[in-house]
Amino acid sequence: MELNLLEQLDVNGHLTISKLYRDGSEEIVFDDHNIIVSGMGVALAHLFALSGSNSILDYQIDRFQIGTSANAESVSTTMLSLPIGVVSSYGLNSNVITASGYQIVNNSVVNNSKIYGIIPQHHITRVDANTVRYTIVLDEFACNNLTDISGDANIREVGLFIKNIKNNNPVAPILVAYRVFSPIRKTTDFALIFRWSINF
């Protein structure tokens, strides 16, 4: 049902990733579509059927995760392959706001705590009647020199999450969009900007 709902509504999106240097110059390192995953269908089904949270705020896309590995990109992807697991990796001196919470996987709450970055409200903008842009900023102090399982320093995946469709306590976000990209070695030399547009 959730996949059919996604197809009927034709939800799609686009992700651009840029390096922003201290001198103000910007280098685009990724520019392509993203994968809208089945979690979006689950969230919309809860919303339309009035079977989840009673607060519209719980249906906002307002958090993200960064990871250092990669899943096969598929509509059935439910979680990042290797998300950042500790607050300090998001940068203790950075402007990235983090929160902990559980996660919904295959429509069930998995009760192990995960770390999420929070997208500030002023970084969520309506582009037109059908498109919303979510801007994630990893400043020069955030996510530097992260290592994957092979020891290489890189970032390779990112996911967007809806806040809390089941009104859980603790909050239990659900993955709604996912993208793998070529490894990026994040350093203090630049900020990394994710501009993620979702068309509803």
Taking only the tens place, the pLDDT of each residue in 56-114 is 999 999 999 999 998 878 888 999 999 999 999 998 899 999 999 999 998 899 999 99
**pLDDT tier at 5, thresholds 50, 70, 90:** low
Instruction: Answer for the pair 19, 38: CB distance below 8 angstroms, yes or no.
Output: no
Indicate whether 72 belongs to any domain. yes
In sequence order, what DSSP letters do the residues of 86-151 get, joined into one string?
A: SGGGGTTTSS-EEEEEEEEETTEEEEEEEEEEE--GGGEEEEETTEEEEEEEE-TTSSTT-B-TTS
Q: 179 lies in which domain range? A: 14-199
Q: Return d(Cα 136, Cα 66) in angstroms, integer.
A: 10
Cβ contacts of 58 within 8 Å, gap of 6 or more: 52, 162, 163, 164, 165, 167
The answer to whether 84 and 90 have CB atoms below 8 angstroms apart is yes
Q: What is the mean pLDDT of the chain?
A: 91
Cβ pair 156, 183 in contact under 8 A: yes
Residue 2 counted as domain residue: no
Q: How many domains does the chain have?
A: 1
Position of tokens 């009035």?
Answer: 50
pLDDT over 60 (residue 2): no
- Is the residue at 5 inside a domain? no
Q: What pLDDT is recorded for position 8? A: 60
